[in-house]
Structure 1
Amino acid sequence: MPKIEINALEVRSGCSYPHPFKEICLGATWRRLGDAAGLTDFGVNLVRLPPGKWSSQRHWHTHEDELVYVLEGEVVLVEDDDDHVLRAGDCAAWKAGEPGQAHHLQNRSDRDAVYIEVGSRKPDADECDYPDIDMVTGPGGYQHRDGRLYPED
């Protein structure tokens, strides 16, 4: 595979969460490095997270492993046990199926943070739990804990 021309890749943004959970996560941008290389077993994204934004709602996956490696700036990793500052050169990872490993990144600094995120690709099997809010998701979409679907935007 030839070198991936990162600057030639589409810059993507957005958030698929239903209201009111999406607004704090809007603003991040990413380039799909794994897609550019034709990878199918795992995804790799180069992410830029602006100040005041979150990478996602705090969550854990039933079937997808995740890893982040910080390249620039700093983020706060929010987990069940505490908050942890991650700076350039720091890495964190989460094994699928571990409810006690709910996590997300927050940029509480005054400059962009840049990191690589790597994750399994098992959308047909994976479900996600968001322990801080009334939301779970799986192949059927975003749902309240009682099973009612969130309306699509």
Structure 2
Amino acid sequence: MSEKTTSVNAEGVFEPFHVGSVPWEEASRGERFGMRFQHLSSFGGGSQLSVSMEVLEPGKQANQSHYHLLEEEHLFILEGSLTLQLGAKSYELSPGHYACFPAGQKVGHCLVNHTSAPCRYLVLGNPQRNDVAVFPETGRVSVRLTGESYRQSATMEYWDGVDINQPARAPGAG
């Protein structure tokens, strides 16, 4: 028997669901980056708003520090705690903390779990088909435009310039 990929019923109607029925996915790279997530909104038929439940294990960073020019992201901590790196500043977040990363706010953000327990949180966003994401750590710029074209020498891979085996550490830590 296969696992359901959406909450749609036989009549094509997306029905309410328990988050336990949503498949977990994993994204990881090297020793530094890794997280598990459930994409709740797509399971429920959503396309205008993105909602994911994510779990960040101890010692891991969710993704590279970045910001979006068109997409807005929101973060709500459910259990555990983590460090939000927002530009040069760091913030310890625990259950009940909320953060918003407005589109066009040119300050990179990333999440790192420096504790000994997993941290579970929601990430909400408004996907933009033509978004531009900037990665201050590497200088990489990701442009999602219809019909985009680049010279190969002018592009770089997502992980170029990132030490993926460096342990996640608190910003400013030696």
TM-score, shorter chain, exceeding 0.5: yes
Give 1:1-153 correspondences, 5 Å limit.
2-15=15-28, 22-23=29-30, 24-26=32-34, 28-99=35-106, 101-122=107-128, 124-139=129-144, 147-150=154-157
Q: Secondary structure at the match of 2:62?
A: coil
Superposed CA offset, 1:50-85 (max 9, x none): 001111111000110000000000010001141000
CA RMSD in angstroms, aligned pairs only: 2.3
TM-score, scaled to structure 1: 0.83
Which runs of 5 or more structure 1 residues have no equivalent in the other structure?
A: 16-21
State whether residues 140 and 156 of structure 2, in contact with CA within 8 Å, keep that contact through their aligned partners in structure 1.
no
Residue 134 of structure 1 and its aligned partner are, at CA, apart by: 3.4
Q: Secondary structure at the match of 1:58?
A: coil
Residue 119 of structure 1 and its aligned partner are, at CA, apart by: 0.8
d(CA) in 2 for partners of 1:37, 1:129: 30
Larger Rg: 2
d(CA) in 2 for partners of 1:116, 1:41: 16
Residue 40 of structure 1 and its aligned partner are, at CA, apart by: 1.0
Which runs of 5 or more structure 2 residues have no equivalent in the other structure?
A: 1-13, 160-174
> What letter matches 1:36 in structure 2?
F
Misfit runs of 4+, over 4 Å: none
Identity %: 21
Aligned pair count reads: 140
Residue 148 of structure 1 and its aligned partner are, at CA, apart by: 2.5
> What letter matches 2:75 in structure 1?
V
d(CA) in 2 for partners of 1:150, 1:107: 25
